[in-house]
Amino acid sequence: MSEKLKKFTQPVGITLDRFIEKDRRRFPNATGELSQILRDIALAAKILNRDINHSGLIGIEGVVGTENIQGEAQKMLDVIADVRFSRALRIGGEICCIVSEERDEMIDTGNHNAKYVMSIDPIDGSSNVNVNISTGTVFSIFRRITPVGTPPLEEDTLQIGRKQVAAGYILYGSSTMLVYTTGNGVQGFTYEPSLGEFYLSHSQMEIPEDGQIYSVNDGNFYDFDPGIQTYLDFCRQQRYTARYVGSMIADFHRNLLQGGIYLYPATQDKPEGKLRLLYECIPLAFIAEQAGGMASNGTQNILDVQPSSRHQRSPMIVGSKKMVETALGFVMTVDG
């Protein structure tokens, strides 16, 4: 075969479906439910990716005139994303209930024989769509606590992060990526729109142990606790690079690849923090830990925090392990 022909017949890569199936074969007792959930997530992500790419042409950039349970004005894309994922997961049949940042009540999918529970932030950073900046989806999967065959209950949705069986995010940016873990490392897949497939592009992702990027809303500096202020001064003295997109998934993804730290600490007017424990902090903490990083609320590992309500908020410090440990050292020394 000629070199020119070889160039045009190179393998495209490993699709998400093939990777999931190959991974499932490693576990003889696996029955395929979790694999189906990941496929359902990928399907919804493809549809939402299309919606986002067309947003400026089809007029879904505005607000709908309602508020979510957090009192935030809902964007049209918030509602659309919530519908896309909840529908795909309900029809897929392997999720018994869903808790979403966009809804007050738990969604009983009617699939009472299903073994799994989903928590999801359908679209993180939806306001950035108006200015063509990256957004994301983040999710967690747990095994239900209540007996299979019965209606799901509140206790199914309020599980400690250590009990996650999978977590991941979709980043809608210059390319669309699905990144997830099932507790055996972190895998990244990039969407190839002309083929309609996610392909393995980042195998066994690892966050650098240390880094020189810090991501924080510096406008809140004077509302942070003294320990956080002192740490941020340290970052400036070290000539670290400040990078803050305002879409948490985009900031987290960059730091995962390049090494860095993301901070959304408590403030004077939000002493409990702003990020949602179930929908944002817990899944990203699991991914970070699986990639060799670390996540804390300032006093406790995020994965060890017991949720008390579905829309509970939490401070968040996540990223390269050494950077998080250094930040916590300032917090404990100055604040403690």
Question: Which two structure tokens, joined as six digits, stand for 23?
Answer: 């991974």
Domain check: are 119 and 222 in the same one?
no
Task: Report whether 169 contacts 280 (CB < 8 A).
Answer: no
* Residue 246 is assigned to a ligand binding site: no
Element (H, E) at 201: strand 197-202
Q: What are the CA-CA distances from residue 147 to residues 96, 98, 138, 144, 242 (Å)? A: 11, 16, 27, 8, 48
Query: Which residue, of 154, 177, 202, is where some domain finishes?
Result: 202
On whether both 42 and 151 belong to a single domain, the answer is yes
203 in a labelled binding site: no
* Residues 6+ positions from 47 with CB-CB distance below 8 Å: 84, 88
Task: Give the SS3 label for residue 268.
Answer: coil
- Which of 159, 174, 202 is the endpoint of a domain? 202
pLDDT value of residue 108: 97
124 is in an annotated binding site: yes
Residue-range definition of the domain harbouring residue 164: 13-202
- Has 264 been labeled as part of a binding site? yes
Q: Both 195 and 68 in a single domain?
A: yes
| 255-309 per-position pLDDT tens digit | 999 999 999 999 999 999 999 999 999 999 999 999 999 999 999 999 999 999 9
Q: What is the pLDDT of residue 210?
A: 97
Asked if 83 and 130 sit in the same domain, the reply is yes
CATH number at residue 111: 3.30.540.10
78-116: pLDDT as tens digits: 888 999 999 999 999 999 999 999 898 999 999 999 999
When divided into structural domains, the chain yields a total of: 2
Nearest to 179 by CA among 128, 136, 208, 210: 136
pLDDT tens, residue by residue, 235-262: 999 999 999 998 999 999 999 999 999 9
Any binding-site annotation on 255?
Answer: no
**CA pair distance 94, 118, nearest whole angstrom:** 10
pLDDT of 62 above 60: no
Same domain, 58 and 174: yes
- For 132, other C-beta atoms within 10 Å of its C-beta total 10
Tokens of 205: 């992702």
- Tell me whether residue 272 is annotated as binding: no
Q: Are residues 328 and 221 in the same domain?
A: yes
The CATH number that applies at residue 252 is 3.40.190.80
Residue 125 counted as an annotated binding residue: yes
- Is 20 within any annotated ligand binding site? no
* DSSP 8-state symbol, 89: H
123 labelled as ligand-binding?
Answer: yes
- Inter-CA distances, 324 with 186, 233, 278, Å: 19, 15, 21
Q: Is 126 annotated as a binding residue?
A: yes
Buried b / exposed e along 245-283 (16+ C-beta atoms within 10 A):
bebbbbbbbbbbeebbbbbbbbbeeeeebbbbbbbbbbb
Mean pLDDT of 120-143: 88
* Residue among 139, 170, 131 nearest 50 (CA): 170
Does 86 belong to an annotated binding site? no
Same domain? For 170 and 274 the reply is no
Tell me, what's the pLDDT at 25? Answer: 74
| DSSP secondary structure string for all residues of 221-260 | GGGS-HHHHHHHHHHHHTTPEE---S-HHHHHHHHHHH--
Shared domain check, 95 and 22 = yes
pLDDT in the model for residue 289: 98
pLDDT in tens, 16-50: 999 998 877 776 666 789 999 999 999 999 999 99
- Is 171 assigned a ligand-binding role in the annotation? no
* Last residue within a domain, chosen from 134, 167, 202: 202
Residues 188, 223, single domain; the answer is no
